[in-house]
Amino acid sequence: MNTKIPTWVDGTLTPVDKLEAHVKAMRHKAVSVFILHKGKVLLQQRAAGKYHTPNLWANSCCTHPHWGEDPQDCAIRRLREELGITGLDPVWVEQLEYRADVGGGLIEHEVVDLFVIRCDTLPKIDLNPEEVQATRWADPAELDTDIARTPEVFTPWLRIYLRDHRASVFGA
């Protein structure tokens, strides 16, 4: 893994190797997308081969922009690369910051551009098995119950988003 992501070093955005940013708990940029359809949210189960939080359920799409990449362009790229989804327009809703232990001595300390997509028709999904092993549409209330019952099967950032940024995701 030699992907450079925008990371703050001494207060200045600098390209840093993604793994190094996580090992050293460095503050870095990220992008997250929630796709909503008829009151349900699309979740993805991360692939078993992911270097952190494998097999856990996350929001529709989450990633790090490449150095110099626009956040919305990043969201569109990763929707295509992870889920095979094209033709949707992510709408920016807020920028947020969180810090979470993701296991294995790795820390996510992210400044996240959060995007939401509201669909009238179901998007065609074509999973990239190196990134995603499954998807499901979840009712937000049922998702809350699932997270309360088995928090360990959901990524820390999904739990944080739903706890602290719910209005941004689902509307006021």
CB–CB of 125/83 below 8 Å?
yes
Active site residues: 62, 110
Confidence band, pLDDT 50/70/90 cuts, at residue 128 = very high
Mean pLDDT score of the chain, rounded to an integer? 96
Annotation-wise, does 109 bind a ligand?
no
- How far, CA to CA in Å, does 67 sit from each of 2, 7, 28, 47, 48? 12, 9, 11, 24, 26
In the chain, where the domains are located? 4-170
Annotation-wise, does 97 bind a ligand?
no
Q: Determine the pLDDT at residue 172.
A: 57
DSSP secondary-structure letter at 56?
-
Q: Map tokens 């969180």 to a residue.
A: 98
CATH H-level superfamily of 4-170 = Nucleoside Triphosphate Pyrophosphohydrolase (3.90.79.10)
Annotation-wise, does 82 bind a ligand?
yes
pLDDT digits (tens, 9 = 90+) for 56-78: 999 999 999 999 999 999 999 99
Instruction: Dump strand ranges (E) for 70-145.
Output: 91-103, 106-119, 132-138
Helix, strand, or coil (residue 94): strand
Annotation-wise, does 37 bind a ligand?
no
pLDDT digits (tens, 9 = 90+) for 90-126: 999 999 999 999 999 999 999 999 999 999 999 999 9
CB–CB of 88/166 below 8 Å?
no
Q: Determine the pLDDT at residue 1.
A: 53
